Structure 1
């Protein structure tokens, strides 16, 4: 029978150096993962990656960090190959990579659109492709999307639109990989209290987001706390394996489908 615990498993996390990805990496190590391979995008994240690797090792797991711009299929192939060379085939593969753009459609240029599509959609597709090729039978695959998939809003067309494609990739992958016992899901957090959120928002928008969720009054910041997302991810890549092909919005009642 396939084991659905985290104990002894090998994990690969794209975008695993800091913020939510880094916290997930540390959590899975603390829960008994054997090895955690984390990806970071650029030299600016190297120190955070090194700190996360040190924390994973302190928790008793093996760890290594790999730098890559994951907007090409070749780079994604290399990331999986490097991680496999270090620790073996992953049992759990998690993709937290993403980019936000808040801008009216009429002001968005082609280069901005292409960058959003490459980071949010193309990289997610090829992450799923490589996961399908390399994740062990009975494994778990998860991608971060956004709660804006359940919103009716202006200005986020490229962000929500390029993340929306991942919902369809997830469903297809769950059907294709399910014959090997692999579950595939997407999690869409609400606006999170991380450096990823604030640069795109003005003061009025920040105030709105901090008050919009049904449970805002019970959050320290009014926003989604990454610590509240981690248990959902942990469940989906372990005992929650029977859930597959789903996009789950986790946002304290910020929005729903």
Structure 2
């Protein structure tokens, strides 16, 4: 497993931090990327030589290029890309702004596209290369006041499928995980309490990380273009 190197976005907290730890447990070396660089550096202190912190605004093509370069300079390769970073933006249709709508799309869809494009030369050289995109149950079921977020995640779902089809001949697997209500800082306390009352409990970041680790492992070697929902039955229970 020493040739397994992952770049994980949104790694300073929540699901991203859990994914970093889970991949490390599987023998990956990890470049942890996040725009919250000071928080990220604090979190990875003491993690040893197999983790580096990389400042990364996923909407910036130059920062993606720098992140990939830093990963390869440190670890010699890049075999795995986890596009986990995302923003949750809520607004009613009449209150939404062009800036708010576009911002969701830039972060939730353009960011993963830029990452795939930046990492592609290295992924093509790596054995067992894999990409996992964090989508959302918002790309399965509609939620009021989520026009920007939901549509950006639907776009990411479509991007995942298109990239999986295009990269299949290269042997690069591209899959998606669809988290539902997960206990992360993305959800404020009021929202977490409401969702817990509705669904019994929230999911834990580690429960999403376990699925990501499976998708990038050899156990999922015949899976590409697949979508795995991790939502505690949320999509089944909403009418």
When normalised by structure 2's length, the TM-score is 0.90
CA distance in 1, matches of 2:224, 2:188: 32
Q: Give yes or no for the alignment of 1:231 onto 2:228.
A: no
CA distance in 1, matches of 2:43, 2:2: 22
Q: Give yes or no for the alignment of 1:177 onto 2:167.
A: yes
Q: Quote the residue 2:41 is aligned against.
A: 49
The alpha-carbon distance between structure 1 residues 134 and 20, as it changes in their structure 2 partners (threshold 3 A), is same
Q: Quote the residue 2:32 is aligned against.
A: 38
Q: Number of aligned pairs? A: 234
Q: Quote the residue 2:63 is aligned against.
A: 75
Q: Quote the residue 2:85 is aligned against.
A: 97
Superposed CA RMSD:
2.0
Q: Give yes or no for the alignment of 1:241 onto 2:233.
A: no
- Structure 2, unaligned stretches of length 5 or more? none
Q: Does the 8 Å contact 1:113/1:158 carry over to 2?
A: yes
Q: Does the 8 Å contact 2:33/2:53 carry over to 1?
A: yes
- Structure 1, unaligned stretches of length 5 or more? 1-5, 217-221
Q: Does the 8 Å contact 2:6/2:30 carry over to 1?
A: yes
Give the 3-state SS of the residue equivalent to 1:54 in structure 2. coil
Give the 3-state SS of the residue equivalent to 1:106 in structure 2. coil
Q: Quote the residue 1:253 is aligned against.
A: 233
Q: Deviations over 1:141-164 (max 9, x none)?
A: 101111111213211111111111
